[in-house]
Each structure stands twice: as C-alpha cells, then as structure tokens.
Amino acid sequence: MTNLKIGLCGTGNVGSAFIESILSSESLINQNYGLNISISLIGARKGKVAGVSDISVITDIQEVSKSDDVDVVVELIGGVEDAYELAISALKNKKHFVTANKALIAAHSKELFELAKENKVHIGFEASVAGGIPIIRTIRDGLISNQINSFAGILNGTSNFIFSKMADEKFSFDAALTLAQKEGFAEPDPSFDISGQDAAQKTSILATLSFFQNSSMENVYFEGIDKISPDDIDYGKQLNFVLKPLSVGIQNKDQITLGSFPAFVKTDSLLASIQNENNAVLVNAENVGGTMYSGPGAGAKPTANSVLSDVIDIARGKIFDYGKFVEQNLSSSFDNFSCDRYLKLQVNDKPGVVAKISTLLANNNLSIDNLIQKELERSDDQIPLVIVLSNSDETTIQETIKELEALDEVSGPLTHIRILDI
C-alpha cells in the first residue's frame, strides 16, 4: 500500500472542491489502485475550513511546505508572489508540488522545472490549462513520438460562455458576464479573463510543451473580448461564421507565433460546436495529423479533478522531468501571422465612400472577399460597412486599419476580427 500525505494550501472554490474530491474518492482510489491518499495538513489564512474537523489547519501557508507530515504540496491560493514562494520552499524541501496556477507556471516554468529536477521531485500543473481536459498529459505522453507543428483552441471557459450566450440567447456582453459570475465560471474580478491575459498564459504553457520552448507571456500577442458587440456576432452569422475566443501556437522552423484573441471560425468547424464554459484544443502533429480534445474548461470541480489526477500520478511513482521542455529559446513574432479579416466601419452614407475605401485596400494589396452594407441603425448619417478581406499579415492589416480610421468618411475606431480556417 502506497501512502501519500497532502498539504493543501488554499480553500476557495477549487480548494473546497479538491477536499470534496479527496473525501469522496478516497476508498475508490484505494480499492482500484492500492493508494492511500489523504490530506494531512491545510493552510488557510482564516484558520477555519468548513466541513473539515479531523484535519489540522494552520494560518501560515508557507509552513505547509516545511512539514514532515506532508509529501506533496497542493497550491490553490492563486496569485503569483505567494504561490512562487510556496513552490520554491516545497521543492527545496523535497516535496512534490501540484498547482492549478497558470500565472505561476507561465512566469516561472524554467526555474521551477529545474528545481524539481535537482531535488528529484515532481511538479504537476495539469489543471493550469483547459480545466478538465488532460491536455498537458496528452502532449507530454500521448503525442511523445510526434513533432507538434501547431495548436489552436478555446482555452478560456469564461470568454466562450459569454460569446455563447451573446450568440444563442441574445445576451448583451454585460449580461452574459454577470451570468458567468453567478454560475461560478468567472471571478468577481473578471479582468484576467476579459483582457485575454488568462488565455495568453495558457497559450504560453502549451507552447512550452508543444515546441520545447522556454516561452513566456512576452512571446504571446493577446487581445481582450470586451470590444465585441452583438452586431459583430450577427454579421458573423450572415457570413456563416461563429465567434470564439481562440488561442494559437505555430512553429515554423526556428520561429514560433503565439496569440490569443477573438476570432471567427466557419460554422462547420469542430471548434464552432464548443459551447458555454467548455474548452477544446486542436493539435496538429507530424504522425497523427489533427486531433481534438474537448471538455469543461471552467468550474471548480473539473479543475479539482485535474489537480487530483496529478496527485495520483505522484502516488503511482510517475516523476516527470520537464527540464527538456525549456531548453530552446526560439524567436517569436506575431507580425507575419496571416489569415482572413473581418472589418466593421461606421461610414458616411454618401456616394463614392465604398469606392474610396476599396481603392485604399487595393493600394495595400488587400483583396475584398465579401462586403455588407446594411442599415441596422442610422446615426448622424452613418451606416455600418462590413468587409471581409482575404489572407493578409498582421503588419499590413494594422497599417491599413490606421489609414482607414484616418479617413474623413470613417467615424471612430473600426472593429477588426481575425477569421481562422481551422
């Protein structure tokens, strides 16, 4: 019988779900795998944990990593500074370390991986990306014989939930966000989700594992989702597109391209069917081609399940060296990323405006695939003009957007959404 004692730090939504998972599955894990996994110590700043009476609770979270009665430290406190201090202490004290903290891994993966190797302990972070989907394990183990060329996916359940409600139930952005918070898919402060930073951190982690790249947030271009309007989603439907919060990673020889942003996909795309808080990742690998992995991406229970799976791996003796994944320092640029483009402009309702805009686009070697000029709401003789452009790179489109916005016939900033054929 293998015994493993857990020191749990953090008893918020995920921490509470983890406690529940341990208590409810303890006998099943024992019966099926011969493992005796238990929580021996809890670090909680408030000093009390609801529903727990026979487990020691201390208020100094950092002391959990030093306890002789702890084999693995599970970090669910969030943030970076305290979590980083805890991780360093745990690894130096030869404790295995498991976390759901994508910000921590994105910022300090190289140092933590090397420290884990030095002290011959395991670091688990399955829950840091895509919630209940075992995507870390899939890339690490399932695709071990493949060179991964690219990945694309929905990595933020909150954003996908918001877009789904806006598209299917005609919610406003604010109403969809409020519901996401009520359902527990978004934090009271949703800024990390809305800004795109959460997805960018996860993109960085997937890039590290997929491309053996010492990646960081600095390598990832990202945009938020708060500029998207219901009109954009409706126009997308007319064009047979579905709006999704997408993350992409591409390796081309010695350069990687990483980004997280709202994007249209075709209605028959596999990713178009991923609704609400669910996540999905498409991986393009050398030998197997394209494979897709989907499941719940937000919520306490799926996250806690992924944390527990890392703990079980440790109990079964699966100690993995992640050091090789941070050996390369490939160059990174988003400037050459190419795809079709959706542009929405507010323009003067006058003859010759469309022709002038078309000429500007042609002068920049941009080709119009589709154009919609339709009066949805007239305001001061302004009407919306929607243009779909065929394949163009980031440098060209960004320069073109500046030129379009400078025209007297165009009012205010335009909306730009990438269109991906995946």
Q: Which residues are catalytic?
A: 202
Look at residue 290 and give its three-state secondary structure: strand
Using CA atoms of 164, 167, 169, 171 in order, give the dihedral in degrees to the nearest 10: 90
Q: Which helix (DSSP H) or strand (DSSP E) does residue 4 occupy?
A: strand 2-9
Q: Which one-letter DSSP state was computed for residue 213?
A: B
Q: Which residue has the tokens 């609770």?
A: 57
> For residue 52, what are the contacts with CB-CB under 8 A and spacing of at least 6?
19, 42
Look at residue 253 and give its three-state secondary structure: coil
> How large is the greatest C-alpha to C-alpha distance in the chain, in angstroms?
82
> For residue 371, what are the contacts with CB-CB under 8 A and spacing of at least 6?
354, 385, 386, 387, 388
Q: Measured between alpha carbons, how far is residue 370 from residues 109, 208, 262, 264, 398 in Å?
A: 44, 38, 20, 14, 19
**Backbone φ, ψ for residue 283 (5° rounding):** -120, 130
